A and B are shown apart, each in its own frame.
Chain A
Amino acid sequence: MKSVSLLLMLGLSVATVATSCGGNPAPQNTTPAVDTAAENARIRDSINAANAEAERQAAAERERIENQRRADSLAALARAGDEVRSSLAAMIHFDLDKSNIRGDDMGALDQKVAILQANPDLRIRIGGHCDERGSDEYNLALGNRRAQAAKQYLVSHGIDASRIETQSWGEERPAVDGHDESAWSQNRRDEFEVISGGDNLRRP
């Protein structure tokens, strides 16, 4: 609102300038015979024209502001979508050779439950991953367990199982390269990605 009145004032000052400018041609008119009535009418017309111009500019400004406001609100919506998307994609992690959901990851999964409930068309895929320490082939089974564990959590909280696909990648797609516990603990994870229905995500 503040900006609106400011812009209106700006518009008026523009009008004022326009008025003085409009007056400029007058001294240039060197015709000695001056019809006062005609001159007054001309000044009036000029003031009216300036007022009309100011009005027009103010209207343009109002429209610009309205557009801006609309864009801002779209951006806000998009920001909300990004937030939803990022909490949907937040990974969960596992202990060595384990596939049970850790207590500190339940909050993240609860958020996903809420997002899935708020967006009934949303379908997701969970990918289970392992660190490089275990056996290469066994890790395919372990990664499957990890993906299933997250799916079961979501399903047990009311999400239709048909909306969730699972994959196992074993140790074949590490998130972090490295051969220490810091890398391993980040690689023992579930990843979540949108299959469909993720274009206009609503906040839960």
Chain B
Amino acid sequence: MMECVLAVAFLSIVPSFQLSGQDTSAIDRGVRIGIIYRPGVRPGLVMLPRTGMGLDSVRLIVARDLDYSDRFEVITLPGGDSIRLATSSTAPRGTSTRRPGTATAATGGAQSGTLNYPLYQALGADFALDITALGDTTVATLHDIAATGIRRTLRVKLPRPGDADFRQAVHRLADQALQAAIGTPGIAATRVLFVREGKVYQIDQDGADQKLVSSTNRQAMSPAWGSDGRQFAYMEFQAGKGWLYLQDMATGKRTAVSTTGSALDFTPAFSPDAQTLAFSRATEEGTDLYTINIKNNCCLRRLTVGRFSDNLSPTFSPDGQRIAFISTRPGLPQMYVMAADGTDQQLFAPFDYGVTGSSNAPEWSPDGQSVAFHRDVAGTLQVFVLDVRTRTVRQLTSVGRNEDPTWAPDSRHLAFVSDRSGYRQLWIIDLDTGRIRPLLQQSGARLPAWSPRLSEAPSTNP
């Protein structure tokens, strides 16, 4: 999937490569660290500027989504309408920078697919996305510059701006455009749950629409998404115990997991089929891993028996066959793996006894190839990724304290907590390009959980 060369390297900044004559400010906002990559593998994409046709917010959201996908070099045309590249019958005279021999037939505007393809090609664009309105339908036309033709035309009826589902609908449109361009599903229509001041919040992956989802004032921790994105689990302190709850995203209805409340239950994790919840339970004997069938509310099963060690923080492989977890059996917490029934427990992430620091908070990537976690390096936490096949680890971060990584559904972006800006907040890193951007500019956010791809809201809309 990746043509980029990934390596553990701490060249603190790899400059973003320059596209000739382009404004790359949108690309430069993130800092690239830790990864060497070969430039030139990402296709260039240009959003066609349109004025006076509405849909500005739609274009803005889509452009940002495509930028945040890190799949394209998003080409920003300089100076707003000082350059008018889309040939249009209404293009004002004098403000265009037409070049001799590049003009194409102007009849019908962009919908006819007539575009100044050679000029876009000269700008380094492989794709051009044009978003227009046709009555109450939003039309997104993806041009394939090299093929000098339309790759796909998407027609959607968007909710009005300000409607509850407007942004998610636009995000889904961005994902469709991305899929049309490169054949891979996007991550625009996703959200991140996190904990702040003891409450669970959700936020869109582009940092918009932060919303409280906790329904009580009791202190919550460790939100975890169900694989269908329609429910989440979390832990709540109550009367000195740790209770596990399941909460429906759409209705907010919450249900206590049966058998919980007798001890300190924490770090819930759904199995991929959402039938089973794995979790940690702290008792007099220490902390051990259990599973419970949440579909039938039965069948509590103990997976580890660590009389003198703690076992916690389970995470399922995407095929549901294995569970990675943290165990203190070597003294300090390190990452182990076992079959989902608790058998065949073995060390997962290699470590040097007495040298390697504590490892915690594992999360298996949706593609199954990696497990992200954090590890104590010289007294502070850093984000690492374990390659499941080779069982080698690489360190992704080195600036400040970085912890609790969570995978985007594309298995190449991670959200995590970092104090690199001076206080603990949420950041997103793209493993392929090394680009890092803040997700939430508010201090105190922690324990993020990135959703799977979210389909249309199942039950909010009647």
Contacts and interface: CB of A to CB of B under 8 A. Distances in A.
Q: Do A and B come from one complex?
A: yes
Given A137-B360, A138-B326, A141-B280, A172 B219 contact: yes
Contacts of A135: 333, 358, 360-361, 374, 381, 403-404
12 contacts: A133-B379, A135-B358, A137-B222, A137-B361, A138-B310, A138-B312, A138-B333, A138-B358, A141-B280, A141-B287, A141-B328, A144-B286
B221 A137 contact: yes
Contact of B237 (A138, A145, A172): A172
A145 to B, nearest CB: 7
Contacts of B198: 172
A140 B221 CA distance: 11
Contacts of A168: 264, 282
B225 interface: no
Given A97-B358, A141-B310, A167-B264, 8 more contacts: A135-B358, A135-B381, A135-B404, A138-B313, A138-B333, A138-B361, A141-B286, A141-B312
A142 B266 CA distance: 13
A141 B361 CA distance: 13
Interface in B221-241: 221-222, 237, 240-241
The interface centre, meaning the residue of B222, B333, B404, B446 with most chain A CB atoms within 10 A of its CB, is: B333
A133 to B, nearest CB: 8
A141 B358 contact: no
Contacts of B358: 97, 134-135, 138
B401 to A, nearest CB: 9
A165 B240 contact: yes
Contact of B240 (A125, A141, A151): A125
A140 B265 CA distance: 9
Contacts of B241: 167
A134 B312 CA distance: 14
B240 A137 contact: no
Nearest to A137: B267
A186 interface: no
A153 to B, nearest CB: 13
B266 A137 contact: yes
A151 B284 contact: yes
The interface centre, meaning the residue of A138, A142, A148, A168 with most chain B CB atoms within 10 A of its CB, is: A138
Given A137-B222, A137-B267, A148 B287 contact: no
Interface of B: 198, 219, 221-222, 237, 240-242, 264, 266-267, 280, 282-284, 286-287, 310, 312-313, 326, 328, 332-333, 358, 360-361, 374, 379, 381, 403-404, 446-447
B interface SS class = strand
The interface centre, meaning the residue of B360, B361, B403 with most chain A CB atoms within 10 A of its CB, is: B360
A136 B328 CA distance: 15
A167 B240 contact: yes
A127 B241 CA distance: 11
Contacts of A148: 284, 286
Given A135-B361, A135-B403, A167-B240, A141 B282 contact: yes
A140 B374 contact: no
Interface string A53-93: 00000000000000000000000000000000000000000
Contacts of A165: 240
A187 interface: no
A87 to B, nearest CB: 23
Contacts of B381: 135
Contacts of A127: 240
Nearest to B373: A135
The interface centre, meaning the residue of A135, A148, A165 with most chain B CB atoms within 10 A of its CB, is: A135
B137 to A, nearest CB: 47
A136 B446 CA distance: 9
A136 B312 contact: no
Nearest to A151: B284
Nearest to A139: B360
Nearest to A167: B240
A133 B332 CA distance: 14
B286 A136 contact: no
The 5 closest A-B pairs by CB, nearest first: A135-B360, A144-B282, A141-B287, A141-B310, A167-B240
A169 B287 CA distance: 14
Contacts of B447: 136-137
